Structure 1
Amino acid sequence: MSISMTPWQRTAHGANLLDESGQPGVTIFEEITALANKHEAINLGQGFPDTEGPVEIRQIAVDAILSGANQYAPGSGILPLRQAIAEHQKRYYSLDVDPDTEVVVSTGATEAIAASLLAFLEPGDEVVTFEPFYDSYAAMIGLANAKHKVVQLKAPTFEPSIEDLRAAISDKTRVILINNPHNPTGAVFSTQVLSEVIALAHQHDCIIVADEVYEHLTFETKHVPIASLPGGFERTITISSAGKSFSFTGWKVGWATGPEHLITAIRTIKQFLTYSSGPAFQPAVAKALNLPEKFFIDFAASLASGAQILADGLENAGIPVIRPQGTYFLVADINNFKRNDAIEVARAMPESVGVAAIPMSVFARPENVSNYQGLLRFAFCKKPPILTEAIKKLQLLPEVLNR
């Protein structure tokens, strides 16, 4: 008996969620992590830190649990957190956001992205993203029965072409989904690119969904929210979370800010997804958002140091690196080696090298996989001793690539 795939399944196939026969499979992230565990390899594939967030913030969550904050939180999030989010946007970006009508708290940024797409997309609408893209984008676009178009980011700058943007965005486009700073490339987009996105959104009557979860994790460059640029706020849903900024990835506390009519639509969808989440975590995140600016500066500096350790080590081993401007990730280029299929190499590395990485091609649509087949993504959000040990092991990588 043959069962046709749903649009979501067809889209998910590009994210490696179905095997070659169309049956449910595992993601490449699960596969590589399993191989890393099997061979006791250092896992630089998945983007999670190996350090905990500030102890005083964790204690607030513990105290909240013990004092009874264990039932449903308000659907929009507790007022102190919404106020802290609004104050954060004002403090860092001079954005005036009403905590009552222009902020909604979500179960991580992923839910905010899902709610945004489901709120504004009708079957057949087009969504434009940059490629490579965070894997949930394709799945959510498929779930909404929308059409996914991409603007390809090309090494070594991973800066989108203005001409490609103009060619991809049309009157059929309903949402422009932009991730800046960008996972998986580590790029930070220029103000020129962001301004062009705004101009095209106005020209073609589009909504901008801005995934900015790495907003505080930039190196020697300042994050500029697209909503802070002229003409940006009125069309933009800005999304962020506590996961990346404070190393609380498991708490799953995110948020969206934007004009009231856009946030109201997101809240309407969100109530049928999780309704509310993290009642004990929300007051802790509210406190974290009010930490001194030095906390964010020091955290970004520590990540920049990790990026340099890993990049220097790879380059010393003879592996070219595209150094990141932000995020947790850097890209290694193995195109000029004899063995340059990054998927094959990534599957071999845990056993042969003792380090795990993720092939960049899994962040691309199936028809574009070949454009990224010689690129590997490494996560450097690890303690310096772990990165130093990984570098020692990665000296074996050129031997594997030249077999």
Structure 2
Amino acid sequence: MEHLVNNNVKNIEISGIRKFFNMVSDYEDVISLSIGQPDFTTPEHVKQAAKQAIDSNYTTYTHNAGILKLRQAISASAAQKYNLQYDPNDEVIVTVGASQGIDITLRTLLSPGDEVLLPGPVYPGYEPLIRLAGGTPVHVDTTNNGFKMTAELIQEALSDRTKCIILPYPSNPTGVTLTEAELKDIAALVAGKDIIVLADEIYSELVYEQEHVSIASFPEIRDQVIVVNGVSKSHAMTGWRIGYLLGPALLMKHILKVHQYNVSCATSISQYGALEAIGNGADDPVAMREEYRKRRNYVMKRMDEMGIDYVQPGGAFYIFPKLVKAKLSSFDLGIELVREAGLALVPGDAFSDYGEGYMRLSYAYDMETLEKGMDRLASYMGR
């Protein structure tokens, strides 16, 4: 009966991250620095707000776009933190995590043959969604540009079929982010063209040496941008599945239709938790960010001592070192690290062909785990 399956579905694969994780999960005594989720717990006041929502019987469908108070809190937070102005009535949609927000945006925008530019290497969750929506992913090689997809590289990749550009910064897997000047150049390049920028800013609260700047803050391109964000990374709420979209009303009214028929609405209890997180927990990410900064600095110090090449991460909680062993692909090197060193990192080729020769290390782990993991890497590198 497999011949009845949609070809777009048959032609996509399980995430390389998950595939690798499943392969090595049965090995014993392995230090894993592979998973990209906060190791902190959800703030207590957020959990209490969700419990109160249950006790208050806030357990029914909400407005398709999300409860108005949450949309108002999102709008206010975006204005205060990132100088973004969005009307909570028709320019904010609460989604089932950032991933669902990306999915419904691409399904709303893309028609068969449309091209979507995205950096390579890049998080593997975008390409399958592009293909399922009938579009064609076009990876832009950033490996010789500090992993940054800048205006110059975008200009070279543009075609008359380019419909969308995905800007996922701070980046998974590299941790790299773009400067205000670099974003301004992209805005100037794209403004006025029939192109939508999908700005995945889910790591916007986890930026270290500079303030996060959203490309939507540039007036000349504001109405060509859909911003994706959420509380998964900022408030350690990955399992709550609350993301949100910010965008111009003319586009959002169509995205809302796809969202409505896809999920009706995000989970009501999770929405009330997110309301507490965004409305009263604006400073919750600060302590987490500072801890991630310490961990990042420790990992960089250890890699410097080992002579490993990397680009300094400016945000998120990943580093993407260049790890090469003769005649071994990144995937095979990942397997060897597990077998011989008891260390699990994600092979770089999980993040497109441009990730070959690299490995992703997540420092969303406590210091004791990081120390053990780096000791094992040092032992392996010293052989």
Task: Determine if contact 2:16/2:350 at 8 Å carries over to the other structure.
Answer: no
The answer (yes or no) to whether the contact 2:110–2:133 under 8 Å persists in 1 is: yes
Q: Which runs of no fewer than 5 residues in structure 2 stay unpaired?
A: none
Post-superposition offset of 1:108: 0.2
| Equivalent-residue separation in structure 2 for 1:109 and 1:131 (angstroms) | 20
SS at match of 2:359: strand
Match of residue 354 from structure 1: 342
Task: Report the residue type matching 1:222 in the other structure.
Answer: E
CA distance 1:35–1:311, shift in 2 (3 Å): same
Given that 2:299 and 2:374 are in contact with CA atoms closer than 8 Å, whether structure 1 keeps it comes out as yes
The question of whether the paired residues in 2 share the 8 Å contact of 1:36 and 1:43 is answered with no
Identify the match of residue 157 of structure 1 among 146, 154, 159: 146
Q: Residue by residue, what CA displacement relative to the aligned partner does 1:96-145 show, whole Å, maximum 9, x if unpaired?
A: 21111110000000001000000011111111111112212111110111
Task: Identify if the C-alpha distance between structure 1 residues 81 and 5 changes in structure 2 by more than 3 Å, giving closer, same or farther.
Answer: closer
Distance 1:67 1:293 in 2: 24
Find the aligned partners of 1:339 and 1:226 in 2 and give their Cα distance. 41
Letter in 2 for 1:164: L
Supply the distance in 2 between the matched residues of 1:201 and 1:239 (Cα, whole angstroms): 19
For 1:39, the aligned partner's letter is E
Residue aligning to 1:21:
none
SS of corresponding position for 2:320 = strand
> 2:212 matched to 1:243?
no
**CA apart distance, 1:320:** 2.9
Residue number among 381, 385, 391 corresponding to 2:368 in the alignment: 385
User: TM-score, normalising length from structure 2?
Assistant: 0.93
Q: Give yes or no for the alignment of 1:210 onto 2:193.
A: no
Q: Is contact 1:334-1:340 (8 Å) kept?
A: no
Aligned amino acid, residue 254 of structure 1: G
The verdict on how the C-alpha distance between 1:157 and 1:60 changes in structure 2, with shifts beyond 3 A counting, is same
CA distance in 2 between counterparts of 1:291 and 1:346 reads 42
Q: Specify the SS of the correspondent of 1:184.
A: coil
Structure 1 SS opposite 2:239: coil
Aligned residues: 382
> 1:88 deviation in Å?
0.4
Q: Contact 2:59/2:268 (CA < 8 Å) preserved in 1?
A: yes
Residue 23 of structure 1 corresponds to none
Deviation, structure 1 residue 156: 6.7
Please say which of residues 349-358 and 178-187 is displaced more in the overlay: 349-358
The answer to whether the aligner puts 1:100 opposite 2:69 as a matched pair is no
TM-score, structure 1 as length reference: 0.88
**Residue correspondence of structure 1 range 268-287 to structure 2 within 5 A:** 268-287=257-276
Partner of 1:6: 7
Q: Is the 8 A contact 1:8 1:140 kept in 2?
A: no
Which position in structure 2 is the counterpart of 1:398? 381
In 1, distance between residues paired with 2:224 and 2:170? Answer: 19
1:22-101 correspondence to structure 2 within 5 Å? 27-101=16-90
Q: Is the 8 A contact 1:69 1:280 kept in 2?
A: yes
Unaligned runs of 5+ in 1: 18-25
Q: Secondary structure at the match of 1:237?
A: strand
SS of the counterpart of 1:321? coil
Question: Are 1:308 and 2:297 an aligned pair?
Answer: yes
**What is the root-mean-square deviation in Å for CA atoms of aligned residues?**
2.2
Of 184, 189, 194, 2:178 maps to 189
Does the 8 A contact of 2:151 with 2:189 survive in 1? no
State how far apart, in whole Å, the 1-side matches of 2:80 and 2:269 are: 25
Please state whether the residue corresponding to 2:321 is helix, strand or coil.
strand
Q: 2:191 is paired with a residue of what secondary structure?
A: helix
- 2:253 maps to 264
Secondary structure of 2:271's counterpart equals helix
Once the two structures are superposed, residues 22-64 of structure 1 have per-residue CA deviations (whole angstroms, 9 ceiling, x without a partner) of xxxx744243245144323122112012220211111211222
